[in-house]
């Protein structure tokens, strides 16, 4: 079957959720590419492999990923390349181990068949995020701060960013670029993904010292490409990427990734009470399902589907 889809999933924990995602995506038309963070010492590899029976599962070579660092971008590019190298796919879906399909897989496939050629990527047009790339970010691979040592590094990083802004300094490779930002996960056509991969060297040069640049690099590439005119809905960030998103604490305006207290806060994701909102949103995918409350929400969603099917 030539009209296949590639799901590229970045995961590091919550394997009970990941297994439910794999069950849901398991289809003859779906190839699933999973990256498990190298920092994760143990994961249920055999169970993951056994879960996918109709489609194909690829576990790609592992690397260590840090929140906010260039390593996030590097991992996404690796996933994209592995998926392209595996053969033709109509669409490539960048995803996580916390993103669950809100629609049955057949309905998702039909939607993309009917909208073939559109680029489902979201844009946040509320303000300018260029500073994330235009400043030289030292210690951009420390991730969310969990130690006193890293907290000191984050303090130095933030002070150095502030000094650069005060002096009007712009990181040379990022000069004269009007960066675009949006929700990091997307669904793009093969031509768009190949176009981005051709710019691998430019991406590394420009974003190597960025902070949270993973929310800018694909949005910027697609915006300044021949695919711009096929962006699904430039004025609706989440509607354009077809993701229902429940904001997490790390998205709040006062979250800097520089506080041990902030980093240790438990993330709350989609729960049973949110499922009706998910369904009414008419989105294809939901973010973020975490822990046992996420598993319960998935079970509730499936029960509602069964009831709807019987009507």
Write out the two tokens for 297: 């929400």
Q: For the chain, what is the domain count?
A: 1
Which residues span the domain enclosing 65? 5-310
Tell me the backbone φ, ψ of residue 11, rounded to 5 degrees: -140, 155
pLDDT score recorded for residue 260: 55
| Mean model confidence pLDDT for the chain | 93
CATH assignment at residue 264: 3.90.550
pLDDT score recorded for residue 307: 81
Contact 96, 193 (CB under 8 A): no
pLDDT score recorded for residue 18: 98
Write out the two tokens for 11: 């995961």
pLDDT score recorded for residue 103: 97
pTM: 0.93
The percentage of residues in the chain with a pLDDT greater than 90, rounded to a whole number, is: 88
Q: If you average pLDDT over residues 95-114, what whole number do you get?
A: 97
Distance CA 281, CA 204 (A): 36
Write out the two tokens for 256: 């800097």
- Residues in contact with 68: Cβ distance below 8 Å, sequence separation at least 6, in sequence order: 140, 143, 144, 211, 212, 257
Q: Which residue has the higher pLDDT, 87 or 2?
A: 87
Give the DSSP per-residue string, 85-130: HT---SEEEEEETTEEESS-HHHHHHHHHHTTT-BB-----SS--T
Q: If you average pLDDT over residues 250-274, what whole number do you get?
A: 67
Q: How confident is the model at residue 309 (pLDDT cuts 50, 70, 90)?
A: confident
The pLDDT of residue 101 is above 90? yes
- Dihedral of the CA atoms 40, 143, 188, 5 (nearest 10)? 10
Distance CA 197, CA 43 (A): 29
State the angle between helix axes of 70-85 and 190-197 in degrees (0 to 180), rounded to the nearest 10.
130
Q: What angle do CA 144, 213, 240 make, to 5 degrees?
A: 110
Contact 258, 147 (CB under 8 A): no
Tell me the backbone φ, ψ of residue 240, rounded to 5 degrees: -70, -30
Q: How confident is the model at residue 311 (pLDDT cuts 50, 70, 90)?
A: low
Contact 190, 84 (CB under 8 A): yes
pLDDT score recorded for residue 250: 53
């Amino acid at each position: 079957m030539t009209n296949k889809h590639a799901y590229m999933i970045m995961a590091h924990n919550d394997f009970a959720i990941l297994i439910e995602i794999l069950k849901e995506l398991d289809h003859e038309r779906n190839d699933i590419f999973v990256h498990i963070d190298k920092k994760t010492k143990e994961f249920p590899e055999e169970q993951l492999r056994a879960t996918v029976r109709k489609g194909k599962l690829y576990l790609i070579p592992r690397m260590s990923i840090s929140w906010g660092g260039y390593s996030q971008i590097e991992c996404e590019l690796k996933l994209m390349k592995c998926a392209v190298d595996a053969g033709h796919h109509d669409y490539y879906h960048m995803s996580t181990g916390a993103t669950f399909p809100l629609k049955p897989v057949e309905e998702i496939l039909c939607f993309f068949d009917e909208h073939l050629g559109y680029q489902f990527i979201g844009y946040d047009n509320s303000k300018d995020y260029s500073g994330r790339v235009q400043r030289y970010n030292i210690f951009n691979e420390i991730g969310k701060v969990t130690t006193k040592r890293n907290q000191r590094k984050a303090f130095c990083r933030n002070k150095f960013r502030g000094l650069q802004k005060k002096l009007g300094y712009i990181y040379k490779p990022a000069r004269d670029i009007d960066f675009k930002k949006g929700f990091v996960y997307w669904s793009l056509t093969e031509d768009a993904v190949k176009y981005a991969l051709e710019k691998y060297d430019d991406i590394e040069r420009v974003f190597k010292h960025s902070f949270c640049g993973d929310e800018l690099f694909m949005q910027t590439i697609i915006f300044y490409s021949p695919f711009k005119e096929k962006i699904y809905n430039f004025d609706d960030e989440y509607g354009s990427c077809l993701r229902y998103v429940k904001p997490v604490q790390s998205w709040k305006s006062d979250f800097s990734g520089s506080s041990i207290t902030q980093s240790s806060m438990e993330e709350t994701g989609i729960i049973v009470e949110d499922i009706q909102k998910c369904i009414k949103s008419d989105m294809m995918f939901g973010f973020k399902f975490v822990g046992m409350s996420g598993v319960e929400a998935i079970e509730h969603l499936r029960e509602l589907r069964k009831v709807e099917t019987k009507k």
